[in-house]
Amino acid sequence: MTRCLVWVIVASLIFVGVASASVKQGDTELDLLAGFTAQNGAKNSPDFSAWFASGALGYFLTDNLQVQAAVMAALTSTEMPASAGDVDVNLWALGGRAKWHFMPTNQLVPYVGAQLLWVNADVDGLDGAMSTVLGVTVTGNDGSSDGSLWGPLVGARYELNENNDAYVEYQYQVWEGDIAHVLDDGHSIFVGIIHQFK
C-alpha cells in the first residue's frame, strides 16, 4: 500500500501545473520535431524515404487558432535505377502553417490544420548519364530546383507540464513546381516537443 502511495505522489509531481489550460490566446510557442517521410516518385522517378527535422514558432490568435512560421530540412540519399549510382538530395523549406485546436482546455488537445512551404532542393552525385533531376538540367554532377510543399495535417498534443507539451502529427504532402518532376505526394508522421513561453 505504501509503495502504491509513493508512485501516486511521484506521478502527481511529474504533472504539476497540468490543471491550467493547455493552449490559450496569446501563447507563443517553439516546437521541434523529427520524423520519417516516404515520398512517391512521379512518373519514372524513384521513391525515396528520409529522416528529417523541423521547427516552428507559433502564436495563438484565439484559444483555438494558431499560426506558425516553420522551417524544415531533410537530408536524403537515393539509389538511382539502372546503376546510375547514389544521389544525395538535400531539401530546405520555409513557410507557414495554421492549426485549429479542439478542446483547448483539456490535457490532450487534438487539432487539424494546413501548411504551405517554399522548398529548395540541392542535388549532388549524379551519374554523367543523367541530364535532368528535379525538373532542371544538371551542369556537371550538381543541380538545384525549387517549388512548394502544401497539404493538410492532423495531430494531438499532450500537456506534460505548464510549459511543455509532447505531440504527434500526420501530414499529407503535395509537391508543386519544378520539384514535382521528381516528387509527387507523400505521407509523414512526426513526434515532437513544444515549449510554451508563458
pLDDT in tens, 175-193: 998 888 767 898 988 889 9
Q: Is 104 helix (H, G, I), strand (E, B) or coil?
A: coil
The stretch 128-137 carries a mean pLDDT of: 46
Handedness of CA 126, 149, 45, 154 (dihedral sign): positive
pLDDT (0 to 100) of residue 117: 97
CA distance 115 to 152: 7
pLDDT (0 to 100) of residue 70: 96
pTM for the full model? 0.73
The structural domains of the chain, ordered by start, are: 26-197 (2.40.160.20)
pLDDT in tens, 101-121: 999 999 999 999 999 999 998
Helix (H) or strand (E) holding 7: helix 2-14
Do 80 and 86 touch, CB atoms closer than 8 A? yes
CA distance 95 to 97: 7
pLDDT over 90, % of the chain? 45
pLDDT (0 to 100) of residue 37: 73
Q: Is 181 helix (H, G, I), strand (E, B) or coil?
A: helix
Q: Pick from 196, 140, 144: which is nearest to 165 by CA?
A: 196
Q: Is 170 helix (H, G, I), strand (E, B) or coil?
A: strand
